[in-house]
Amino acid sequence: MPKLYLPDLLCAGGITNAGSGLLVDDEGKVLGVATAESVSGSGPPAEIVRLAGKALLPGLANAHSHTFQRLFRGRAEGRAQGGDTFWTWREQMYRAAGFVSPDDLYNVARATFLEMLASGITVVGEFHYLHNDPSGRPYADPNTLAHQVIRAAESVGMRICLLRAAYQRAGFQREPHPGQRRFYESTEDYLRNLEALLSATGGHARVTVGAAPHSIRAVPLTGFKQIAAFAQQRELPLHMHISEQPAENDACVAEYGRTPVALVAENGILTPRTTLVHAIHLTWTEFEQVAAAGSTICSCPTTERNLGDGIFPADVAARLGIPVAQGTDSQAQIDMLEDARQNEYHLRLQKRERGILDQLNSEDIAARLFDSATLAGYRALGIEGGSLAVGEPADFFTADLDDLAILGVDRASLVAQAVFALGRSAIRDVAVAGRLVIENGVHVQGSEIRSRYRAVQKRFAHGEGQ
Ligand SMILES: [Zn+2]
Taking the domain 3-58+396-432, which CATH number applies? 2.30.40.10
How sure is the predictor about 466, in pLDDT bands with cuts at 50, 70 and 90?
very low
Q: Could you tell me the distance, in angstroms and rounded to a whole number, from the CA of residue 127 to the centre of ligand 1? A: 7
pLDDT band at residue 79 under the 50/70/90 scheme: confident
State what percent of residues in the chain have pLDDT above 90.
92
* Segment 72-77 mean pLDDT: 90
For residue 345, count other CB atoms closer than 10 A to its CB.
16
Residue with the larger pLDDT of the pair 186 and 87: 186
Q: At what angle do helices 187-201 and 144-156 cross, to 10 degrees?
A: 30
Question: Of 34-48, 211-225, 278-292, 424-438, which range is least confident?
Answer: 34-48
Report the pLDDT averaged over residues 24-37.
96
Tell me the C-alpha to C-alpha distance, in Å, between residue 189 and each of 141, 146, 239, 373: 12, 15, 19, 34
The rounded distance, in Å, linking the Cα atoms of 227 and 181 is: 20
Of the candidates 410, 409, 404, 443, the one whose C-alpha atom is nearest the C-alpha of residue 425 is 404
User: H/E element holding 298?
Assistant: strand 296-299
C-alpha to C-alpha distance for 202 and 419, rounded to whole angstroms: 35
Q: What is the pLDDT of residues 241-276, one digit of tens each?
A: 999 999 999 999 999 999 999 999 999 999 999 999
Q: What percent of the chain has pLDDT over 70?
A: 98
Burial of 154 (0-12, 13-18, 19+ CB in 10 A): middle
Alpha carbon distance 337, 269 (integer Å)? 30
Domain 60-380 has CATH 3.20.20.140: yes
pLDDT band at 421 (very low <50, low <70, confident <90, very high): very high
Per-residue model confidence (pLDDT) at position 62: 98
Cβ contact 278:242 at 8 Å: yes
What is the pLDDT at residue 82? 62
**What integer pLDDT is reported at residue 86 of this predicted model?**
75
Longest Cα–Cα distance in the chain: 75
- Expressed in angstroms and rounded, the spacing between residue 304 Cα and the centre of ligand 1 is 10
Average pLDDT, the chain: 96
Residues of the chain with CATH 2.30.40.10: 3-58+396-432
Residue 249 or residue 45, greater confidence = 249
Q: Fill in the amino acid letter for 419.
A: V
Q: What is the 433 CA–ligand 1 centroid distance (Å)?
A: 27
Q: What backbone torsions phi and psi does residue 208 show, to the nearest 5 degrees?
A: -130, 170
For the chain, state the CA radius of gyration: 22
Taking the CA of residue 51 as centre, how many other CA atoms within 13 Å lie in the half-sphere pointing to its CB? 33
Reported pTM: 0.97
**Confidence at residue 464, expressed as pLDDT on a 0 to 100 scale:** 67
CA of 371 to the centre of ligand 1 (A): 21
For ligand 1, the distance from its centroid to the CA atom of residue 65, given in whole angstroms, is: 6
CB 335 within 8 A of CB 424: yes
Where are the domain boundaries for CATH 3.20.20.140 in the chain? 60-380
Mean of pLDDT values over 326-351: 97
299 alpha carbon – ligand 1 mean position (Å): 10
Ligand 1 centroid to 19 CA: how many Å? 41
Q: Residue 458's CB: how many other CB atoms inside 10 A?
A: 10
Q: Dump the DSSP string for 51-96.
A: EEEEEEEEPEEEEEE-GGGGGGTTSS-S--TTS-HHHHHHHHHHHH
pLDDT surpassing 60 at residue 330: yes
Answer positive or negative: Cα dihedral of 347, 343, 338, 213.
negative
Q: Does the pLDDT at position 113 exceed 50?
A: yes
Asked if 32 and 17 count as a contact pair (C-beta separation under 8 A), the reply is no
Which residues are part of the catalytic machinery? 278, 329
